Structure 1
Amino acid sequence: MYVQYREKVLPARANLNPPKLVHLLTTSPPEVKSRKLTRFTARCQKLTDYFPVRRSKRQPLSKIKDLEYEQLKEKILNKCTDGLEIRQIEGKGRGVFSTRHFERKEFIVEYSGTLISYEEAKKREAEYVKEPEKYGCYMYYFVFKNKKYCVDGTAEDGSYGRLLNHSKNGNVESKLVNVNSKPVLVLVAKQDIQPQTELCYDYGERSKEIIDSHPWLNQ
């Protein structure tokens, strides 16, 4: 008699009842016990060939998110600019271009600068507006834990994030990340981005006074 499973044939006697084995082992001489135990172990091993133990390789969603966060944090702390290149654009000045493919929601670069309070930012902004040709527009306002902040990227510090140009139909968007209990602004791909593409995002500036000083913000 045979038991059929998934087109493989297994002798029915392989399903030896454990209590029967215990009885045989307790009533047989030592050398016989050893042989019977060896044969039983081999049969159990054969069973796993027909009925393999499945171990899931899937990770919990929370663990995946933790891993993604740690990878993002590492890129931020290391000031990662992988896949980016600064170029001069005629009639526009400097801009940042991709040198490789970026997937949607992938980290692009940190928008770095000086983290200051909202009150301090408004004071600086009032000074910058007086000389728009000199200072440009690098103030990024946001809310973190119900408090208003600003990253002032006006100072030339060699970072890439401040050089991404504005476009209301940009291929990049901003995201707020909590790193060591401090807010950090990063720019991520809004869509899949091909190599040799200029990276732009909507600055979100709607103030008439600011737009009058920087007309290109209306584009």
Structure 2
Amino acid sequence: MATRRRKPPKQDAIEHAVKALDKTAELEVQYINSFKGRGVFAKTPFRKGDFVVEYRGELINSKESQRRRRTYHNRCAVFMFDFYWQEKTWCVDAAREDGSLGRLVNDDHKHPNCKMKRVITEGKPHLCLFALKDINEGEEITYDYGGTDWPWRKQEDKQSDATESFETDIFRTTEQTPQRSSSFKTQEDKQSDATESFETDIFRTTEQTPQRSSSFKTQF
């Protein structure tokens, strides 16, 4: 029996992004615990390099992103993902609970199994996760948010150090929630078709509160 030919990851990402579809036959949401909340898990194996899921939300410009940061609760602001494109800062705001899976993928800065890349199609950027390595069925999907000041990382570090030290302060919150990347370095895909480009890793920054866009006021 002939095996089904593997679809090129970039093509796979573009097809799902254009239709705003997730791989619901291959991914599922599970509740993990009170600390992590929900996460996204593989229902079937993924191979290294495969497109996994898009971080889908509403695309907004920097001005609108800053306005929303001032109005959002931190629990919503953490769903905002800033990134740099065409010499400007943009934001994908996924604060709205819309059933999409990408917004629920958890951070893992030590052993992530996916990385975020920017895929451009039809003149619009999409933030897509691709497998860094083979992912087994039942494994949680994770990626490195970038930065260092995410509050849960501080709590994880304190938990890991508990066997060696005892601290009086459990956790001190900051006034602003750390953000997703407002800048990053990429290599441009040297394809002649400018409507579709594929770029390297995108990380979130922690200088501003991460947010996901709920409105879009800009021109591409």
TM-score normalized by structure 1?
Answer: 0.61
Match of 1:216 among 152, 172, 176: 152
**What's the offset of the Cα at 1:67?**
6.3
- 1: distance between equivalents of 2:67 and 2:84? 18
- Aligned to 2:139, the other structure's residue is in SS state coil
Gapped runs of 5+ residues in structure 1? 1-65
Letter in 2 for 1:117: N
Q: Which residue of 1 aligns with 2:27?
A: 84
Given that residues 174 and 186 in structure 1 are in contact (C-alpha distance below 8 angstroms), is that contact kept between their aligned partners in structure 2? yes
Task: Kindly indicate whether residue 119 of structure 2 is the aligned counterpart of residue 177 of structure 1.
Answer: yes
Q: Which residue of 2 aligns with 1:140?
A: 81
Judging by fraction of residues, say which structure has more helix.
Answer: 1
Given that residues 44 and 136 in structure 2 are in contact (C-alpha distance below 8 angstroms), is that contact kept between their aligned partners in structure 1? yes
Aligned length: 145
**What's the offset of the Cα at 1:145?**
1.7
Given that residues 205 and 217 in structure 1 are in contact (C-alpha distance below 8 angstroms), is that contact kept between their aligned partners in structure 2? no
Alignment of 1:36-75 (within 5 A): 69-75=10-16
Match of 2:130 among 188, 193, 196: 188
Given that residues 13 and 54 in structure 2 are in contact (C-alpha distance below 8 angstroms), is that contact kept between their aligned partners in structure 1? no
- Aligned to 2:136, the other structure's residue is in SS state coil
Match of 2:46 among 98, 102, 105: 102
Match of 2:69 among 125, 130, 134: 125
Given that residues 107 and 189 in structure 1 are in contact (C-alpha distance below 8 angstroms), is that contact kept between their aligned partners in structure 2? yes
**What's the offset of the Cα at 1:123?**
1.9
Distance 1:151 1:217, change over 3 A: farther
Q: Which residue of 2 aligns with 1:17?
A: none
**What's the offset of the Cα at 1:217?**
4.1
**What's the offset of the Cα at 1:97?**
0.3
- 2: distance between equivalents of 1:194 and 1:69? 21
- 1: distance between equivalents of 2:12 and 2:30? 28
- 1: distance between equivalents of 2:147 and 2:124? 24
Distance 1:102 1:157, change over 3 A: same
- 2: distance between equivalents of 1:155 and 1:144? 23
- 2: distance between equivalents of 1:70 and 1:104? 15
Distance 1:182 1:159, change over 3 A: same
RMSD: 2.0
Distance 1:112 1:217, change over 3 A: farther
- 2: distance between equivalents of 1:152 and 1:137? 9
Given that residues 97 and 199 in structure 1 are in contact (C-alpha distance below 8 angstroms), is that contact kept between their aligned partners in structure 2? yes
TM-score normalized by structure 2?
Answer: 0.60
Comparing both chains, which one has the higher relative contact order based on Cα–Cα distances under 8 Å and sequence gaps of 6 or more?
A: 2
Distance 1:135 1:102, change over 3 A: same
